[in-house]
Amino acid sequence: MKRTALAAMAFALAATSAPMAFAQDGWKQHDEWHKGAQIQKEDWNRGQPVDYHAHHLRKPPRGHEWRQVDGNYVLAAAATGVIASVIAHPHH
């Protein structure tokens, strides 16, 4: 339920803002980030590791980690950058 509401809010925000624009809180839309895509190394390195427990995220599979990049949560394979999940603009 929370993910559905969060996704609806992110979609509404994305529909009303310019593509790749920065919002006031530093959030940046990345349409290229989706399951199966590869996150750019510079984006991954810019991201901050996330404590999945503290942020109520699912436990990452072995070899994966959550990062917060441009206000989005990205779960990807640490070695390859292949994205397993993205939660866009998690801020309340």
For each of the domains in the chain, give its residue range(s) and CATH number, in order of start.
32-92 (3.10.450.160)
What amino acid occupies position 27?
A: W
DSSP state of 23: P
| Helix-then-strand count for the chain, H and E | 2, 4
Reduced to 3 states, what is the DSSP secondary structure of residue 2? helix
User: How does pLDDT run across 16-71, given as a tens digit for each residue?
Assistant: 333 444 444 567 888 899 999 999 999 999 999 999 999 999 999 999 999 999 99
What amino acid occupies position 84?
A: A
* pTM, entire model: 0.69
Distance CA 20, CA 12 (A): 15
Q: Are 4 and 44 in contact (CB under 8 A)?
A: no
